[in-house]
Structure 1
Amino acid sequence: MMCRSLALTLLLGVFAGNSHARPPIFVPDPISGYAIGGHDPVSFFIDGHPRKGSRQHEYKWGGVEWIFVNEGNMAAFQRDPEAYAPLFAGCGAFALSEGFATEGNPFIYAIIEKRLVFFHSVVNRFLFIANQTQLMKSAAGNAGTVGCVPDL
């Protein structure tokens, strides 16, 4: 009986909320709350891979705290945050092109059209890159509908 009431509560919670569930903005670390899991967004472009930021270099933008490897990376982000922040507020781009909102993984990414793009899985990344022009248009068209745009 307890399992039925729990299942009913969960089911009602799903239908009572927003019809378009959306991942948290910019994939925050569940413990610290830092954007993109506490990784420096500029490091994806400079170093070619994600690097953990330092609490000594914090900057608030887009409703979340970002941390950086060094002052130079933080200054670059401050000058043009939209150039370095993940596209689609960190949602997985392939799923978004299909009309679904999933949380992107900062370790599964690509730089597409000079923008940082996250994916939910390696397979999704591969499929997106194989047809990136068309899927980028679809993802951009669906972003607002499913809530994968930052509220700046």
Structure 2
Amino acid sequence: MPSFTLRHFVLLFLMAVGTVVAPAKTWAASPEVNLGYFNKLAMNGYDVMTYWQGGDPQKGDPEITAQHNGATWVFQSEENRQAFLSDPAKYAPQYGGYCAYAASQNAVADVDPFAWRIWDEKLYLNYSPQVRRIWASDIDANIEKANEFWPDLLKK
């Protein structure tokens, strides 16, 4: 039986989720901020500041919101809301909250709020924990590739 390599895993993964991780052309209408499928909120309603406070991400309170970059962001507290608004470029996830690995492949994909990493003082999200592991195998190279494609991949 042939050995199963990372290349095989990536190919199988991309084939399996082809309807989610689509070429950029099919996502031309994607907003600059990932609004998820169900609630149309940035970060799928998770408080982005909880990523910066350690522990697991937490859902925000729908009564505590802010508008930024054309999206509604939800927070657990007024303190978190104010901290975010003090420097949204610092706290908002990279690539509009779309999957960082997909961006490195010139594509966009939704994310699992629990598949994340702060790297060089920036928040990155991924489609799943498995994809996060692939992305993390060479974070700097994947960021460099994603930066080449972003934000133009949303305009194709």
User: Which TM class, normalised by the smaller chain length?
Assistant: 0.7 to 0.9
Instruction: Report the secondary structure of 1:33's partner residue.
Output: coil
Of the three residues 58, 61, 65, the one matched with 2:68 is 61
Question: Structure 1 67/131 Cα, relative in aligned 2: closer, same or farther at 3 Å?
Answer: same
Deviations 1:123-142 (A, max 9, x none): 22112112111111001111
Look up the match of 1:125.
132
Deviations 1:101-152 (A, max 9, x none): 212222211111111111112222112112111111001111123128xxxx
Look up the match of 1:141.
148
Deviates more, 1:132-141 or 1:91-100: 91-100
Matched, 1:110 2:99: no
How far, CA to CA, are the matches of 2:86 and 2:149 in structure 1?
28
Deviates more, 1:23-32 or 1:49-58: 23-32
Look up the match of 2:12.
none
Counterpart mapping for 1:27-38 below 5 A: 27-38=34-45
Higher Cα radius of gyration: 1
Deviates more, 1:95-104 or 1:77-86: 95-104
Unaligned segments of structure 2, at least 5 residues: 1-23
Contact 1:34–1:64 under 8 Å retained in 2: yes
Identity %: 24
How far, CA to CA, are the matches of 2:151 and 2:26 in structure 1?
10
CA deviation after TM superposition for structure 1 residue 25, in Å: 3.9
Contact 1:26–1:86 under 8 Å retained in 2: no
Of the three residues 78, 82, 86, the one matched with 2:85 is 78
